[in-house]
Amino acid sequence: MTTTIQFPVSRIEGHAKVIVDISNGQVRSARFLAQEYRGFEQFLQGMPADQMPVIVPRICGVCSTSHHIAAVEALEDAYGVTPPDIAKKIRHLMMVGQLVQNQATSLFFFTMPDKLQATSIFGADENLGKETLGSISKKAMAIRKIGTELISLAGGQFIHPVKAVVGGVVSGIDRDAAAVMQEKIKKALPLACNLFDEYWKLTEKLAETVGHWEGDDPFYYMVAVDKHDPTLPVDYITMQRSDNSETVTFSAADYAEHLQFHRVQDSFSSKTSFNDLPIRANSLARMNLIENPGTPIATGYLERFRIEFGTPAHQILLFDLCRGIELINGLERANSLLSENLQEGEMNVPVTPRDGIGYGLVEAPRGPLIHNFHIKDGLIEKAGFVIPTVHNNFAIEQALTTMAKRYVSEDRIDLGLDKAMGWVVRAFDPCIACATH
């Protein structure tokens, strides 16, 4: 007998569902399907290239900063422009703001409720005292806000930033405003550490009940960050096999030669593989592949993480802990960036638009993101978006299948399956609006 069970997934960005196929008491497969679509690659055709930095952030309101900057860099690549250093720093700060915002949201709003057996972090739930949740969500809100304030400060608009333009940024950051922001960060940092410690304990507890699960099949980790500063993107992608036996690097322009894209009938998102194996991008990939986060408190956390779980560590639930390390790293990094001169000097260089092909690569919170534009007569002839969640899709399904098997036996399906599917998906923090665009 064959049964198919469907679960809509909440507390992630966008519309998706998990489908588990069971036949004769055995899990055949578990799949993760994206259910929305807007068609960016199609409707951008014919639009003026210079409008891209305003339009493409709307691919996703969660990671819009990545799209904003990837688009600007793709145009700069096409036009042969190098922005001044100060503009690069301001863009870097924007990305750090987004990292803080994203990791805090994923950690405290999306996955912490799972660890507390609640449906949300706002205390609408009966199982837990309203006070407990109320105080957690207050702290979580304050930490997360630092991220959006950083995006506003560096990017102008708070969700769909506007300040990165081809050639640089429109304006700098006022020294006084930077100092005010630093004060806020200094206050938020102990709060963030405190809540993350709490989170770490809860994760260990959850691991006691569900065990450490990772699956033994090989896969590749994928990152595009500096080995000593995981908030800083580099201009090449690194793929490392999970058993450390192979490392490959390639540039954004060569992505199509290295990655295989698979289309499916029942999802608006495709899936990527590398050497026909699944890929894992996102926090765990970064924390496994870097040497150190480059800031003191985060380095302490990563050392503790490596002692407890080894390097590389492959357990799925560890994505969440790595997000916490990155949250702390982001706060520390933002603080040091804000000490630099971001106010005086050349903010942008002159630009002469020209036709051609450009690639922009940034490390979004979910992994390496590439924008590719073909420009003709100043208009977009072809636009391509290579999305981190798409890289993770096979790995998500692999992990879902491994997990589902624990809840399904010959004679029964454990009712916890629904929740467990949610845990797995959220560990990868997928973004459906991005994945389908």
Q: Does 271 bind other proteins (CB under 8 A)?
A: no
Among 15, 17, 28, 58, binds ligand SF4 (CB under 6 A): 58
Binding mask 357-396 vs other proteins (x if CB under 8 A, - otherwise)?
----------------------x-----------------
SS3 content of the chain, % helix, strand, coil (to 5): 50, 20, 30
Q: Does 419 bind ligand SF4 (CB under 6 A)?
A: no
Binding mask 223-242 vs other proteins (x if CB under 8 A, - otherwise)?
--------------------
- Asked if 379 and 295 touch (Cβ cutoff 8 Å), the reply is no
- Asked if 18 and 7 touch (Cβ cutoff 8 Å), the reply is yes
Q: Does 244 bind other proteins (CB under 8 A)?
A: no
Nearer to ligand SF4, 58 or 184 (CB): 58
Handedness of CA 162, 94, 148, 114 (dihedral sign): positive
Q: Does 80 bind ligand SF4 (CB under 6 A)?
A: no
The strand ranges marked E within 227-313 are 229-241, 247-251, 259-262, 271-274, 279-280
Residues 146-205 interacting with other proteins (rule: CB under 8 A): 148, 152, 155-160, 162-163, 165-167, 170-171
166 contact, one of other proteins, ligand SF4, none, CB 5-8 Å limit per kind? other proteins
Residues 81-120 interacting with other proteins (rule: CB under 8 A): 105, 109, 113, 119-120
Instruction: Tell me how far, at minimum, the Cβ of 168 lies from ligand SF4, in Å.
Output: 20
**Dihedrals φ, ψ of 157, to 5°?**
-80, 150
Q: Is 219 left (phi over 0), alpha (psi -120 to 50) or beta?
A: beta
Residues 4-43 interacting with other proteins (rule: CB under 8 A): 8, 10-15, 33, 35-39, 42-43
Cα separation, 362 vs 173, in Å, equals 22
Residues 358-417 interacting with ligand SF4 (rule: CB under 6 A): none
Token reading at 362: 């940034």
CB-based closest residue to ligand SF4: 58
- Asked if 260 and 274 touch (Cβ cutoff 8 Å), the reply is yes
- Asked if 228 and 292 touch (Cβ cutoff 8 Å), the reply is yes
* Contact residues: ligand SF4, CB under 6 A: 58, 61
